[in-house]
Structure 1
Amino acid sequence: MKAVRFDRYGDVDVLEVRAVDDPSPALGEVLVRVRAAAINPGEIAIRAGVFADRWPATFPSGEGSDLAGTVERLGEGTVESGFSVGDAVLGWTDARASHAELVAVPATQLTAKPDAVSWEVAGSLFVAPLAGYAAVRGVAPQPGETVVVAGAAGGVGSVAVQLARLTGATAIGLASEHNHDWLRSRDVIPVAYGEGQEERIRAAAGGGRVDAFVDAFGDGYADLAIALGVAPGRVSTVIDHPAVERLGIQWQGSSEVGSAALLAEVAGLVADGSIEIPIARTYPLEQVRSAYQELAHRHTRGKIVLLP
């Protein structure tokens, strides 16, 4: 099969698509033929060695967590999983392995793909949407409250702002102006980035207080939340780890809430139209370097997805 590999930490030029041996499903695993696998900013940091002390790579390293595809083969001990060869599934791997044509995945990390969910979206539902779910759950918006999401058109933020709105709260989304029409279409109040954004947020909140804040961008937005008067316990970031200790705010990610049951719930929300997962662009596996170059600009709406 073909799979993404890299032999050392570095920029996108270390990424290669290689012919490697097909994986074989171990006890409790399912072999999935991948149809779509999203890419995520955390993978850039891992490949660059930013998290080498916390999450070191073993070379040659693969990459990728999100995946969607069809069941190719069942390993031993998966009879009770309910999956059959040919089933359409979505899920995730913890083995940095989804950017490949085949991946062996624990059956407990898969769920059925709804027919109404496209392959591109199905292959994007673990890392970013569940991080958005965790962040919103952490700040617990209530009906009638106001919650702000920074990075409201990105992979995590676009989900977080929609989930916040579903709670009955007023949702304000910080995003570039070319994303404002999309935010309005999801019943979110858009606010432009840049100088004066604190005053624009207060105006969008009708002069009232901001009750909760989700930072899906970093770059000082946790400090903005505190400046807006949000209690630290109701500020959550998915990216600004230093601010967690410095300001006493929350950090929660997909790994803290991840389960096949929750993934199925999120897939159901997509299938019935309650939330939308925007797909910014798709790339064939062979163009993995170009995909990450686009992601690094941080100006996409929604997800970038590889199609093996």
Structure 2
Amino acid sequence: MRAVLYDRYGSPDVLYLSRVPRPEPGPGEILVKVRAFSVNGGETAARSGRLRALTGRRFPKRVGMDFSGEVAALGPGVARFTVGDLVWGVTGRTAFGSAAEYVAVPAERAGLLPEGVDPVRAASLPAATAAVVALRDKAGLRPGDRLLVRGAAGGVGHAVVQLGRAWGAEVTGLARAANLDFVRELGAHRAVDHRGVRPEELGRFDVVVDTVGSDLGAYRRLLRPGGRMVTIAFDLGRPVASLGGIALSAVHGRRRIRFFSGNPHRAEFDDLARLVSEGSLRPAVDRVFPLEETADAHRALEAGGVRGKYVVRVA
């Protein structure tokens, strides 16, 4: 099968398309014929070498964290799916490899696509499971809460805006000036150019959801009494200081920063399907690339300014 690989850390130029053996599903796994996948910040950071302490120096390496596609085969012990089912899912927090014609993944990391949803557009949504967890489980968002979303036009942020509005919050989204109309279209009551305002000028909030990772302390100070801040990112330029600051926030005062790295299971994909079916969440695809142009998709994401997701079509 065809797959995207790289033999050294570096810019998107290190990515290349090659042929590798098609995987076989092991116990508890499904083999998925990939229709599409999206490009995520975690994989671009891994490819560039910024996470080499975690990813190591064994090459070649693969890219692609999420996917949509069709079940092609079942491993031993899998009863929930049947061959031919349309599914979406993730490879797992520390695994990559969906940038390929086939991928074998644990069945618990996948869910059935909602009926009528285009598989290519659906590839933009697995990351939205992080938005569900951030708002519902970590922040306990309530109707009437004032919600601030950093990175409101991005892969997770655009889902946070939609769900915040659907769940009754008053939503303020921070994004680039060129994306403010898009953020308003998603449902934000207020869209603000992040480059033209200081944090202290934004007001006070019950919930802050951060997808950027920098200056976390400045945004933590915007919380009202009883406020909650959730981040899915940390500052890759200062990882030790950034993660240390997150840890210290739990010690000093009640306004701690809740940090988590999305690693969804079956239940989260069932929730995602329900939210899409009821209209609370819709795909937002900025641009679709062919598999041969995966490097261009990485370049586009690293250039900034994405509206929703960049998706790569495999078949």
TM-superposed deviation, 1:246? 5.1
The correspondence of residues 1-308 of structure 1 with structure 2, limited to 5 A, is 1-56=1-56, 58-78=58-78, 80-81=79-80, 83-94=81-92, 95-126=95-126, 128-137=127-136, 138-188=138-188, 189-198=190-199, 201-202=202-203, 209-220=204-215, 222-230=216-224, 234-240=228-234, 242=242, 243-245=245-247, 247-248=249-250, 249-255=257-263, 258-308=264-314
TM-superposed deviation, 1:38? 0.9
Q: Distance in 1 between matches of 2:232 and 2:226?
A: 14
Task: Indicate the RMSD between aligned Cα atoms, in angstroms.
Answer: 2.0
- Structure 1 residues 120-179: Cα deviation after superposition (integer angstroms, max 9, x where no partner): 2322332x2122222223222222220100110100111112222233221111122333
Instruction: Answer yes or no: is the 8 Å Cα contact 1:151–1:173 preserved in 2.
Output: yes
**How many residues are matched?**
296
Q: Which residue of 2 aligns with 1:206?
A: none
Instruction: Answer yes or no: is the 8 Å Cα contact 1:135–1:253 preserved in 2.
Output: no
How has the CA–CA distance of structure 1 residues 4 and 233 changed in structure 2, closer, same or farther, with 3 Å as cutoff?
farther
TM-superposed deviation, 1:300? 0.7
Segments of structure 2 that go 5 or more residues without pairing to the other structure are: 236-241, 251-256
TM-superposed deviation, 1:277? 2.5
Q: Distance in 2 between matches of 1:183 and 1:157?
A: 9
Instruction: Answer yes or no: is the 8 Å Cα contact 2:122–2:283 preserved in 1.
Output: no
TM-superposed deviation, 1:225? 1.5
Segments of structure 1 that go 5 or more residues without pairing to the other structure are: 203-208
Give the alignment's TM-score, normalised by structure 1: 0.89
> Which one is further off, 35-44 or 137-146?
137-146
Aligned to 2:208, what secondary structure does the other structure show?
A: strand
- Structure 1 residues 205-229: Cα deviation after superposition (integer angstroms, max 9, x where no partner): xxxx311111112332x23313424
Counterpart amino acid of 2:134? Answer: A
Aligned to 2:52, what secondary structure does the other structure show?
A: coil
